[in-house]
Chains A and B, each alone.
Chain A
């Protein structure tokens, strides 16, 4: 168990919960009833801002490969395809978000969860996910580059 951390994105404090695992595509994961639940980190949400539209290209029950394209998101500032953070089988998508995606912005670490999956990949598999301090270090390492290059577009 790690402490919560706050990654400073300029003036915006991106809170990273200490008890979660993180993947390089800026999703968190948490074990929930034998499944792994995923959602966007505060870092990802700060880049995207208000979510307008969320669409999944796979269905519950589908087996997915790591970094397979699984959906698409449109926000006030950005668009992006979405990719599977780990290999596994999708169990369920958060149906509430498909009606109203605002929970992603309001409560990204809880009500704004995206999907649950089952996987053989261990939750602490270093290949797939990072601890909170590791994710912080990953963000820190790349922040200057990301910031410089995104600046003109934000």
Chain B
């Protein structure tokens, strides 16, 4: 019956923070006691190379998943999507919605993900509560939701072929290869690369024009993709600042808007008051960050001359969206 189980993956924090490790361990211990869950622990999702056992394990999971990690749910979800671990975004309820008095959010205008299998992936941010009980409760709620959805969808589902064979109790589960905890938990080297949120990305190509390090590319359908993840410059979030749709996430960056928090020009999300509170112009900051990396590579700084002005030059004022107008008016404050 393990097909009906919800796979729960706890992704560890980087480093050895005792408080984080303690939460991970107490959470795992509590979840293992619950029936209907398959619980596994892997290292920090973002750092998993394609050949890491933890990544292969994730790829082998075919059903619904709950992924608990130390990053924003959007970051975790789209990071998995890039790794071809795809599904539909499962809504979690640990945090209340940002805004209750606004109307419906407009439908996302991004190009969306492709080849999404019929399953849900729920991503939970381990920073959203500091006791394991809240997470256990949410995982159990998700498990129940998944059971109900399956029951409602296929009342007379045929058992999968794979379950027709007679298996001994000692046999490993057939549908997923066995990965030893030691292999799963091998500490990977730290990585740094952008993650594209395709629910927001409009394929405008500003990132590929801006980045001079060959990180971005396009797939066979001419959709933008993060092609060479490890060509990215550690610590540099410049392309994210340039993205007009706030679709580029660096899960480890300190500013929540860039790390994948629910922030941006879309509907019910929080506003960014950075400019009002004394922050500089995002494009200028991005150009400085890029120049620093160019110089470090022994190349010449290009300032604002490459890959930037297109948006300003091409766009008539009439088609500016709300955020553009907000930014313009904040510019006028001369902070």
Chain A interfacial positions (CB closer than 8 Å to B): 24-26, 44, 47-48, 55, 57, 67, 69, 72, 74-83, 85, 142, 145-146, 148-150, 152-154
Which residue on A lies nearest to B272, using beta carbons? A79
Q: How far is the CB of A153 from chain B (nearest CB, A)?
A: 4
Q: A153–B271 contact, CB under 8 A?
A: yes
- A-side binding surface: helix, strand, loop or mixed? mixed
- Contacts A80-B279, A153-B271; A24 near B335 (Cβ below 8 A): yes
Other than the given A72-B255, A79-B263, A145-B329, 9 more pairs (CB < 8 A) read: A25-B276, A44-B277, A75-B270, A77-B270, A79-B256, A79-B261, A80-B273, A81-B255, A146-B330
Known A81-B274, A146-B276; contact A25-B335, beta-carbon cutoff 8 A: yes
**Which residues on the B side are within 8 Å of A82 (C-beta)?**
277-278
Taking CB atoms, residues of chain B closer than 8 Å to A142 are 332-333
Question: Is A81 a contact of B333 with CB atoms below 8 Å?
Answer: no
Is B325 part of the contact surface with A, judged by Cβ < 8 Å? yes
CB contacts (< 8 Å) of B31 on chain A: these are none
Residues in A whose Cβ lies below 8 Å from that of B254:
55, 57, 72
In the complex, whether B219 has a CB less than 8 A from a CB of chain A is no
Residues of A contacting B332 with CB < 8 Å?
Answer: 142, 145
The tally of CB-CB contacts under 8 A between chains A and B is 82
**Interface check B61, CB cutoff 8 A:** no
User: What's the Cα separation between A129 and B278 when bound, in Å?
Assistant: 13
Any A CB within 8 A of the CB of B45: no
Measured between beta carbons, the chain A residues less than 8 angstroms from B236 are none
Chain B residues with CB under 8 Å of A75's CB are 270
Pairwise interchain contact B276-A47, C-beta atoms closer than 8 A: yes
Q: Say whether, besides A145-B332, A145-B333, A80 and B325 are in contact (CB < 8 Å).
A: no
CA distance A148 to B326 in the complex (A): 8
- When distances are taken between beta carbons in the complex, the residues of chain A under 8 Å from B124 are none
Chain B, interface size category, equals 20 to 34
DSSP majority for the B interface?
loop
Of A26, A80, A153, the residue contacting B274 (CB under 8 A) is A80
Query: Which residues of B (299-335) have their CB < 8 Å from a CB of A?
Result: 322, 325-326, 328-330, 332-333, 335
Task: Name the distance in Å between B97's Cβ and chain A's nearest Cβ.
Answer: 11
Residues of B within 8 A of A77 (CB): 99, 270-271
**Would A78 and B279 count as touching, CB distance under 8 A?**
no
Beta-carbon contacts of B174-210 to A below 8 Å, as 1s and 0s?
0000000000000000000000000000000000000
CB-nearest residue of chain A relative to B334?
A24
* Given A24-B278, A79-B263, A153-B322, also A146-B273 (CB < 8 A): no
- Which chain A positions have C-beta within 8 A of B272? 78-80
Q: Which residues of B contact A78 (CB under 8 A)?
A: 270-273
Does B98 touch A at the CB level, under 8 Å? yes
Q: Is B225 an interface residue (CB 8 A)?
A: no
Tell yes or no: B257 within 8 A of A by CB.
yes
The complex places the Cα of A152 from the Cα of B268 at a distance, in Å, of 10
**Contact (Cβ within 8 A) B257 A79:** yes
Residues of chain A within 8 A (CB-CB) of B261 are: 74, 79
